[in-house]
Amino acid sequence: AVAGPDMDLFGDLRRMNKRQLYYQVLNFAMIVSSALMIWKGLIVITGSESPIVVVLSGSMEPAFHRGDLLFLTNFHDDPIRAGEIVVFKVEGRDIPIVHRVIKVHEKGNGNIKFLTKGDNNEVDDRGLYKEGQNWLEKKDVVGRARGFLPYVGMVTIIMNDYPKFKYALLAVMGAYVLLKRES
């Protein structure tokens, strides 16, 4: 009888001693903690709570398409200007929105209010803001687009649209790290 790939996987697990298994688990933990440290470092460097975001809709086409990966900064000393692309969060919505600033109102005391609109949308974003809110303030801004990679974020969209794919991908990656042998 021919052994299938499943039998081979379990055979590898049985042959692995406890020391090897602990080593592989620590390797996996090191990879995860390194990724978290890099993410936290990016947050500090960029001043943005979310330095990298994926465009989830077509509201900013042709500037950005669904699946584009945006790199953000959020330095509070930089003034917000009309024409700039910002990522903002409004009360009552979980997902940040990527749109362009179309109007800015600056008061003498330094208080700034602004209005946004998606390039591909017919109307401004007042309908997206919380009820009774007509303008955004600096506190609503998560970041400002400084660069992008086209379509790199499609993997994120696929994982959100198809949760089974996400779990299968995580299982394959976890099994690879745990079963990978050092040469």
CA angle 117, 75, 103 (to 5 degrees): 25
What burial letters (b/e) apply to 144-173, b meaning 16+ CB within 10 Å? bbeebeeeebeeeeebeeeeeeeeeeeeee
CA proximity to 136, closest of 103, 166, 110: 103
SS3 90: coil
DSSP for residue 173:
H
Is 59 considered catalytic here? yes
Phi, psi at 106, each rounded to 5°: -110, 130
Instruction: Indicate which residue of 48, 68, 99, 140 is catalytic.
Output: 99
Is 99 considered catalytic here? yes
Instruction: Indicate which residue of 12, 34, 57, 59 is catalytic.
Output: 59
Is 48 considered catalytic here? no
Instruction: Indicate which residue of 8, 68, 119, 125 is catalytic.
Output: 125
Active site residues: 59, 99, 125
